[in-house]
Amino acid sequence: MTHQTRPKDKLPVVYTSRAKCRDCYRCVRVCPVQAIRMKDGQAEVITELCIACGTCITACPQQAKAYRTDYNKVLQMMEENHQIAISIAPSFVIYYDEWQQKRLPSALRMAGFSHISETAIGAYQSAKATAEYVSENPHRANVCTACPATVNYVMHEKPELAGFLVEVVSPMIAHAKMLKKTAPKRKVVFAGPCVAKKDEAQWTVNQDLVDAVLTFDELDELLSIRQINLDQCEESSFDDLVPGDASLFPLEGGLLRTAGLKTDMLDEHVIAVSGFREVKDALEALNEKTGNLIIEPMFCKNGCINGPFAGHKHTGIQNRAAILNYAAKQRKPDPANIGSLKSTSTHFDTVQSGKKVDFSEDQIREVLKKTGKLTPSDELNCTACGYPDCRTKAIAVLKGLAEPEMCMPYMRRIAEQKFDTMIDYDPNGIVLLDHELRIIHMNPAFKKMFSCSDALLAKKISYLIDPDPFEQLVTKKVDVYRSKTNYSNYNLLCHLVAYVLPENQHYVGIFMDITDTSSSKEKLRELQSETVIKAQELIEHQISMAQELAKFLGEHTAAGEILMKKLIDSIKK
């Protein structure tokens, strides 16, 4: 094992398409290693910290997270008439239906690949080498994994555990070595469900082995560019047969099974885990005193069958059954003809990301103070910013990963304060009522017009004025009430606009004092238009508050928004 800083020239695997990002923080929330920085309202991937797990790509609701595609590179290799071998990951069984699986080899030949075989052939060699490695190191913890996201996680986040990794090449690398050994000049392309494999192909130790890594989506794109339709291809076989149980590799425990290591779920010395949380917990339990333990971790829940580009057409159980059926049906090669690979060992480089910086309590408190968190009870730990708690978010601000303004309760408070100020200075009387027409809020102009004070809060509006306009809204007789109304008790002639806020069944009344009969119609029009603007601002404020909360809660407010827009239009009329 060696240490390195991440190569500066390393191509980013995952990045943000800036035009599409709507700063919802979902990717920040799901990124297991805090490799996403919010900057100018954009969620930027920090390449040096990213472990290329692909979680943010599938989580982003705007398709704003993207990965580096390689199919153009492959098309260019084809144009340059290179001999190209393609290694197809065993989870193709999940991505393609059974009839498509049988035609895929023909389609790939038509596309221009000269050798078509399954990565499972390399998996068999990896498994054999893993079994040997474990038998040579029986009294320690052995972390056996073919998953580059897991290796990246250890090397970036838990370098102290790197010594437990079994230093054996992954199936992709083993297969690439075999393919290059028989024809050193040919190009090797890998296709699978995984984004992290694009990163693995760039590791220094793997240089010049895999020339391009495609997801199955990219492979489909490439076939479509070459105008190849699977339903017009004939059935044919791959160029090599898969030995042993290597087709089971995409399943949790598949490596251990192929390696002939025990996979009894009750065996305390051999465990297969999948999914980030479980992998993290299992790895964190390891220490120098852990003896005789074999762990097979896979970053995606249930293994590569649930990789970011596995297709996700069927349930997990159906996918597992599909892999088991496919493996059971395969013709096995004659053991005498199974080639072997001598150089199966590898090494992993830990990454000095510079992320682990300690900040003093004073520094953290200073950041918390900036967002109104003066005491621990102000720390709501609501996770709306994408971080698990306010302190972690404050530390992220200090690291330059987050912005103070990402705190939603704080921003809402600021917005409300600003809006309250606007309402307070409005010359029109504004009253807000709850669903039972009790007064929630009155602005100073309203209190002056109706000679009342906050003592009336929580009292019904009928204490003050005729509630009929609001009752018409409650009974849905009208959507918006607009009328000239005489309040003789108060010597007032008002133009009243009243409407409902559908999200919380609150009612708003805006009273324009038009008592002064000497006022010109022009003045009245001005007042009306000012009122519409204020009403619109009030509505839009309510919408944005509802949207912010709904964004966090994952709800859809589109219907509410359309309704409110209609309301604004009807007020304008």
Q: Which residues form the interface with ligand SF4 (CB under 6 A)?
A: 14, 16, 21-27, 30-31, 33, 35-36, 43, 45, 50-56, 60, 62, 64-65, 147, 149, 193-194, 196, 298-300, 303-304, 307
Q: In angstroms, rounded to a whole number, what is the distance separating the alpha carbons of residues 222 and 210?
A: 18
Q: Where are the beta strands (DSSP E) in 461-529?
A: 480-487, 492-501, 506-513
Shortest reach from residue 86's CB to ligand SF4, in Å: 18
Residue number, 318 or 529, with CB nearest to ligand SF4:
318
- Tokens matching residue 43: 């969620």
Shortest reach from residue 234's CB to ligand SF4, in Å: 30
Residue number, 149 or 408, with CB nearest to ligand SF4:
149
Q: Residue 54: how many CB atoms within 10 A of its CB?
A: 26
Residue number, 24 or 496, with CB nearest to ligand SF4:
24
Q: In angstroms, rounded to a whole number, what is the distance separating the alpha carbons of residues 117 and 137?
A: 33
Shortest reach from residue 279's CB to ligand SF4, in Å: 9
| 3-class DSSP assignment, residue 432 | strand
Where is 517: in which H helix or E strand?
Answer: none
Type of residue at 482: R
Residue number, 172 or 367, with CB nearest to ligand SF4:
172
Q: In angstroms, rounded to a whole number, what is the distance separating the alpha carbons of residues 261 and 270?
A: 8
Residue nearest ligand SF4, CB atom distance:
307
Residue number, 303 or 560, with CB nearest to ligand SF4:
303
Shortest reach from residue 300's CB to ligand SF4, in Å: 3
Contact (Cβ atoms closer than 8 angstroms) between residue 152 and residue 10: no
- Tokens matching residue 383: 């996770």
Residue number, 303 or 469, with CB nearest to ligand SF4:
303
CA 556 to chain centroid, in Å, comes to: 18
Residue number, 26 or 495, with CB nearest to ligand SF4:
26
Shortest reach from residue 533's CB to ligand SF4, in Å: 31
Shortest reach from residue 109's CB to ligand SF4, in Å: 26
Residue number, 47 or 292, with CB nearest to ligand SF4:
47
Contact (Cβ atoms closer than 8 angstroms) between residue 51 and residue 35: yes
Residue number, 350 or 472, with CB nearest to ligand SF4:
350
DSSP 438: B
Q: Residue 379: how many CB atoms within 10 A of its CB?
A: 16
Residue number, 142 or 150, with CB nearest to ligand SF4:
150
Q: In angstroms, rounded to a whole number, what is the distance separating the alpha carbons of residues 290 and 270?
A: 13
Which CB contacts under 8 angstroms, 24+ apart, belong to 540-547?
A: 540/564, 541/415, 541/419, 542/501, 542/503, 544/415, 545/412, 545/415, 545/416, 546/503
Residue number, 150 or 542, with CB nearest to ligand SF4:
150
Shortest reach from residue 224's CB to ligand SF4, in Å: 23
Label residues 403-435 b or e (16+ Cβ within 10 Å = b): bbbbbbbbbeeeeeeeeeeebeebebbbbbbbe
Contact (Cβ atoms closer than 8 angstroms) between residue 38 and residue 401: yes
Shortest reach from residue 539's CB to ligand SF4, in Å: 25
Residue number, 150 or 443, with CB nearest to ligand SF4:
150
Q: In angstroms, rounded to a whole number, what is the distance separating the alpha carbons of residues 368 and 374?
A: 7
Where is 189: in which H helix or E strand?
Answer: strand 187-192
Shortest reach from residue 493's CB to ligand SF4, in Å: 50
Shortest reach from residue 231's CB to ligand SF4, in Å: 27
- Tokens matching residue 132: 């040997």
Shortest reach from residue 60's CB to ligand SF4, in Å: 3
Shortest reach from residue 556's CB to ligand SF4, in Å: 15
The CA–CA distances, whole Å, from 274 to 145, 300, 302, 325, 472 equal 11, 6, 6, 22, 58
Contact (Cβ atoms closer than 8 angstroms) between residue 386 and residue 39: no
Q: In angstroms, rounded to a whole number, what is the distance separating the alpha carbons of residues 516 and 363?
A: 59
Shortest reach from residue 4's CB to ligand SF4, in Å: 18
Residue number, 143 or 512, with CB nearest to ligand SF4:
143
